[in-house]
Amino acid sequence: MKIMLVDDDRTMQAILKTLLELDHHQVIIWDGISESDTLSQIQREMPELLILDYYLRDKNGTEIVKEIRQNPVTRNIRVIMTSGQYLKEECLEAGADAFLLKPYMPDDLLSLIHQVQPHE
C-alpha cells in the first residue's frame, strides 16, 4: 500500500517510515514546506492511506482532512489521524477513518492500517 506520512516531527517520520517499509508498504514523507501545499502534494502522490498528525505548524490536521474530503480527486483516500491528546471524536467528525492516540505501539498502528485499507 502507498502511505503518506504527514507529521512535522522528523524523528517520528523516520521511525514510521522504517516500520511501514518493514511491513512492505511504499512510504512517502510529507515535505512539510507549507501546510498550504499539503493538498497539492497529496494530489501529486495520491497515496492510498494518509497518516496525519493533528498538530502541525500552521494548521491542524482536521483542516487538511476536511480539504481532502471536499476534493473529488482525494476524497476516497483513507486517513488515520494521530495526536498526543485524545481528539478522536473531533478527528472522526472532520472525516478521518480512524484515530490513534500517541504514544502507540507499532502493532497498534499496523493493525489499524489493515483495518482501514481499501479492499481489492
**Does 103 sit behind a cis peptide bond, omega within 30 degrees of 0 on the bond before it?**
yes
Residue 15 domain boundaries: 2-116
Q: How many helices (H) and strands (E) does the chain have?
A: 5, 5
Prediction pTM value: 0.92
The CATH number of residue 10's host domain is 3.40.50.2300
Give the count of domains, the chain. 1
| Residue pLDDT, tens place only, 84-104 | 999 999 999 999 999 999 999
List helix spans (H) across 29-105. 38-45, 61-70, 88-94
pLDDT of residue 6: 92
- Decide if pLDDT at 75 tops 70: yes
pLDDT at 9 > cutoff 90: no
